[in-house]
Structure 1
Amino acid sequence: MTIDPGGDRAPEDLTARARIRDAALRIFADRGIDQATIREIAKAAGVSSGLVRHHFGSKEALRDACDAYAVERMNQIRQQIFTEGRSRDQAFMGTVHPVAMLMQRYLARSFLDGSEAAAARFDDMVRLSEQWLTDHGIVPRDLRAYAAVFVVMQMGVFAMPEQVSRAMGADVRTPEGNARMLAAMVDIFAHPLLTPEEAAMSFEALDRFIARSPEGGARNEARPKE
């Protein structure tokens, strides 16, 4: 029996509104909002186009609902995995893995669509990452820049599935290929690419570059003398 993106109910058990949202999530993730139509979303959900408009009003409003749901669902999954320690629960991970795959693909596509809603969701994810870093005692030199780059690095692999699949020789849209890709991400995060000395040298070179730039010089001049 197919599991819905909520993770625990079959499609026939969902409300019409939820079926529409879930169908839209899959279609938007595969093709983007511009290429999707209300008619095909309605067909995939097993409802009429009029019912889609009744529940959501427009395709843009439906997309907003999908954005909100995807962010909420991913936050819930992260909480379950990292805070509740359910990564060792094989039954849970087997159920939640395809859900997370869909949410990640959807959010990556949503960010690339470039709407105001997508920009707002991206900013929300950066703020959530800042909070996560702070809560876990990670103190980078520039918290906002770190969080922004962290989000992009995480989502970037989901925005380029064809390229990553070709390079890996495995389709990252399948559970096996996706797990292999995620294992590579864990491996990257688990192994520092620079020694502390190399990192210090890089920071020093970047600080010198910033100080010589017009913007950096102006900031330095504006600082009160000690």
Structure 2
Amino acid sequence: MERPIDDLTARARIRDAAIRLFGERGIEGASIRDIAAEAGVSSGLVRHHFGSKEALRDACDEYAKERMLEVGEELTDAGGVAALDPATLHPRVFPLQLYLVRSMMDGSETAAALFLGAVDSIEEWTTSYGIHPTDRRAYAAAMAAIKLSVFVFRDQVSKALGEDITTPAGYARIGQGLMEVFTIPLITEEQAEQLRKRSEEN
């Protein structure tokens, strides 16, 4: 039986409200009542659509994962890094990034699997672009973790910048900072070689 369009819209509003509140407060910190109020619906309607908070969380995980994969494909098709526009990306991507990081911290297998997928993608990228780190897997894992850490420490990062990174302007600033972290060498090649040799010796 096909549901009426307003029913589908209510389901989407509930899901989007849950993504916002779960991202801000964590799974335990956002109740069904809070989510219903944020979505402008009754608690009963939340339970009608999703049954339980755990099932709602699973639906949010799946939705966030699918949307982030779609964004990744769009950026690849449009030219990758050159296509990044914080003003366009922020409203679409930031709530999902914040949600997935919080979900990962709360033990979501879906979010954890997405992180591992990101590590796989970075590892493949280093190969296709001729980048040769000593330990390719460790390099990819470190890069993925550095990018996610911005969202884990968003309050501290915002305080350091004097600008909220949940806003488009703050998001653009920290994005620029991350890009330069990945492109401006901190040590010389000679120093890097010395560190590699010490690591091998140990």
Band of TM-score, shorter chain: 0.7 to 0.9
Instruction: Determine which structure has greater relative contact order: mean sequence separation of CA pairs < 8 Å that are 6+ residues apart, divided by chain length.
Output: 2
Distance 1:145 1:138, change over 3 A: same
Gaps of 5+ in 2: 1-5
CA distance in 2 between counterparts of 1:63 and 1:88 reads: 34
**1:123 counterpart residue number:** 116
State the Cα distance separating 1:22 from its structure 2 match.
Answer: 0.8
User: AA paired with 1:95?
Assistant: T
CA distance in 2 between counterparts of 1:144 and 1:112 reads: 22
User: AA paired with 1:41?
Assistant: I
CA distance in 1 between counterparts of 2:64 and 2:79 reads: 21
CA distance in 2 between counterparts of 1:135 and 1:18 reads: 38
Distance 1:121 1:62, change over 3 A: farther
TM-score between the two structures when normalised by the length of structure 2: 0.84
**2:102 counterpart residue number:** 109
**1:22 counterpart residue number:** 16
User: AA paired with 2:60?
Assistant: C
After superposition, residues 53-202 of structure 1 pair within 5 angstroms as 53-85=47-79, 94-202=87-195
Regions of 4+ moved over 4 Å: 86-90
CA RMSD between the two structures = 2.6
Distance 1:13 1:131, change over 3 A: farther
Decide whether the 8 Å contact of 1:25 with 1:106 is kept in 2. yes
Distance 1:14 1:129, change over 3 A: farther
What is the aligned length?
197
% identity of equivalent residues: 50
CA distance in 2 between counterparts of 1:13 and 1:170 reads: 39
CA distance in 2 between counterparts of 1:200 and 1:87 reads: 29
Decide whether the 8 Å contact of 1:87 with 1:93 is kept in 2. no
CA distance in 2 between counterparts of 1:73 and 1:30 reads: 19
TM-score between the two structures when normalised by the length of structure 1: 0.76
User: Does 1:36 pair with 2:36?
Assistant: no
User: AA paired with 1:39?
Assistant: R
Which of structures 1 and 2 has the bigger CA Rg? 1
Q: Give the counterpart of 1:47 among 23, 38, 41.
A: 41
Gaps of 5+ in 1: 1-11, 210-226
